[in-house]
Amino acid sequence: MTDMGRAVLDRIIERTEQLALRPASHPLPPEATSELVESFLAPPPARGGDLKALLERLDDAADCALESAGPGSLAYIPGSGLFSSALAEFYNRATNRYGGVAMAAPVLAALEESVIRWIAEDVCGLPAGSGGLLTSGGSMAAFSATVAARHDRLGEDLATGTVYTTAFAHHSVAKAARLAGIRAAHVRLVPHTPDLRMDAAAAAEAIRADRAAGLRPFLLVATAGTTDTGTVDPLPELADLARREDLWFHIDAAYGGFFRLTARGRERLAGFEHADSITLDPHKTLFMPFGTGALVVRDIEVLHAAHGGTGNYLQDVNDGGSVPDSAHLGPELTHEIRGLRAWLPLHLHGTDAFRESLDEKLDLAEHAHAVLSAIPELEVPAHPDLSTVIFRIRPADGTRAAADRADEASRRLLERINAHRRIVLSSTVVEGRHTLRVCIVSHRTHRDRIDEALEIIATETAGVASGE
Ligand SMILES: *Cc1c(COP(=O)(O)O)cnc(C)c1O
């Protein structure tokens, strides 16, 4: 065991030390990638192999990837993977305690509950009686939130239930509604104001019109940090609207939620206190490994009512006392003690370490916004609410043809930037325009890499503009 453990640990430490030097994206040509893919599709052998040889194969597999743990990871919403969290998870997997019901490991269940209470009460400002569930990610959190809202507000008659969100909502919102049995045509995309936030007056109008037409509006989903632009919807106004109209108010803060640890974040994300449920993703802005999401709800009883279930084979399972059984708060029964991978880093580093790192990301985004705004060939349409900065090639004039040419140039710009392999950016569509985004979330991304990124962007913008 010692030799095996050491072999794995040595490799991981070496890889982690090399992260800043490693290419930010796939260093292999496509043929070599296909060969590796083919070789890994093979079934397992009847007789076992050698650990060192297998680890070497694993390294090849892990190398052929976006370097999502490294400082150049600025595409999508990066998840950086804390080393201390990985160690916690090794301990977790090796002890293999059962995380479905509290009775099976009551103290570890309390450990997990402490993480959930911290998120619900300290981070989100929900009152006593709140609680929640650690999920595998934001999509599962959205699913359980939608099921709870549906159960609480619609009962079993789903046919006329309607949901309100915006075009900037993550696709998991519509997917959760579909999985929860809500008609696709009953997911309303409320118009947004020019600053890309949900238009609360338009939402009120849509709810009134639907109600007049005999539908049953039951769920309002705001986004606190959209995936495209990091924009925060007007939460206090929308909370008021939901209360007035008796809708369940869900905030999708998968990306933005943990910025509430910072003073600026708490200001920009005011209104969480009024939510019925909130999604947060520790695997994004708490730097945990992938597979770590969270759902917190104002009233834990409602989540329980929507997800509780039992069977004869569970008759020996007593109530866990003060700590709820996670199996009755979501779709999964058997799962690991998910809280451990958050508990160890939070206790080892302290919450200040996370706050300082998130503050640094807000500073880096301000800096990137200022530098990009000064490049005349670029259009930088929004000031960042959080740590995402968007930009695109500025069209020569206001015609559609010029916008199309600028979109094409933005596409080329992204390719040229990513070809450096020092950073990876991604693109999206904002107001019909091809738009590049820099999303700064990794705990390993600091000023040096952002300055390098900005230099690459400036150089390649000049290149695209001069038609080189
Ligand atoms: C990432 C994200 C999600 C989806 O979360 P997963 O963890 O990828 O399932 C939902 N909403 C927003 C705003 C996100 O950024």
Q: Give the DSSP letter string of 311-337.
A: -GGGTT----TTS--GGGTSS-SS---
CA of 66 to the centre of ligand 1 (A): 18
Neighbours of 76 (CB within 10 A): 18
CA of 138 to the centre of ligand 1 (A): 5
- pLDDT for 336: 96
- pLDDT for 265: 98
Q: How do strand 216-223 and strand 277-280 relate by DSSP bridges?
A: unpaired
User: For residue 332, is pLDDT > 70?
Assistant: yes
Measured in degrees and rounded to the nearest 5, phi and psi for residue 25 equal: -145, 165
- pLDDT for 310: 86
Q: Which of 165, 172, 286 to mutate to test the pocket of ligand 1 (most atoms within 8 A of CB)?
A: 172
The percentage of the chain sitting over the pLDDT mark of 90, rounded to a whole number, equals 96
- Supply the pTM of this predicted model: 0.97
CA of 284 to the centre of ligand 1 (A): 9
pLDDT bin (cut points 50, 70, 90) of residue 46 is very high
Nearest CA to ligand 1 atom 12: 254
Give the ranges where 225-272 is alpha helix by DSSP (H). Answer: 235-245, 263-268
User: For residue 259, is pLDDT > 80?
Assistant: yes
Residue 137 Cβ inside 6 Å of ligand 1? The answer reads yes
164-200 per-position pLDDT tens digit: 999 999 999 999 999 999 999 999 999 999 999 999 9
48-76 per-position pLDDT tens digit: 999 999 999 999 999 999 999 999 999 99
Ligand 1 atom index nearest CA of 290: 7
3-state DSSP assignment of residue 423 = coil
Residue 223 Cβ inside 6 Å of ligand 1? The answer reads yes
Averaged pLDDT, 272-277: 98
Residue 138 Cβ inside 6 Å of ligand 1? The answer reads yes
Ligand 1 atom index nearest CA of 227: 15
Residue 262 Cβ inside 6 Å of ligand 1? The answer reads no
CB 63 within 8 A of CB 11: no
CB 462 within 8 A of CB 377: yes
- Mark 160-189 as b/e (b = at least 16 C-beta within 10 Å): bbbbbbbebbbebbbbbbeebebeeebbbb
In the block, tokens 């929860």 appear at 180
Nearest CA to ligand 1 atom 14: 254
Sequence-distant (6+) residues with CB within 8 A of 319 are 102, 103, 325
342-400 per-position pLDDT tens digit: 999 999 999 999 999 999 999 999 999 999 999 999 999 999 999 999 999 999 999 99
CB 114 within 8 A of CB 127: no
Averaged pLDDT, 129-151: 98
CA of 139 to the centre of ligand 1 (A): 6
Residue 254 Cβ inside 6 Å of ligand 1? The answer reads yes
- pLDDT for 320: 63
CA of 165 to the centre of ligand 1 (A): 15
Beta-bridge partners for 220: 164, 249
Nearest CA to ligand 1 atom 5: 138
The percentage of the chain sitting over the pLDDT mark of 70, rounded to a whole number, equals 100
User: For residue 408, is pLDDT > 80?
Assistant: yes
Nearest CA to ligand 1 atom 6: 138
Strand order in the sheet with 187-190: 131-135, 293-297, 277-280, 248-253, 216-223, 161-166, 187-190
Q: Cα torsion for 135, 141, 146, 147, to the nearest 10°?
A: 0
CB 151 within 8 A of CB 302: yes
Residue 255 Cβ inside 6 Å of ligand 1? The answer reads yes
95-135 per-position pLDDT tens digit: 999 999 999 999 999 999 999 999 999 999 999 999 999 99
280-310 per-position pLDDT tens digit: 999 999 999 999 999 999 999 999 999 998 8
Residue 170 Cβ inside 6 Å of ligand 1? The answer reads yes
Neighbours of 45 (CB within 10 A): 7
Ligand 1 atom index nearest CA of 139: 9
Residue 139 Cβ inside 6 Å of ligand 1? The answer reads yes
CA of 86 to the centre of ligand 1 (A): 21
pLDDT bin (cut points 50, 70, 90) of residue 207 is very high
Task: Average the pLDDT over each of 30-34, 125-129, 399-403 and give the range with the smallest value.
Answer: 30-34
User: For residue 453, is pLDDT > 80?
Assistant: yes
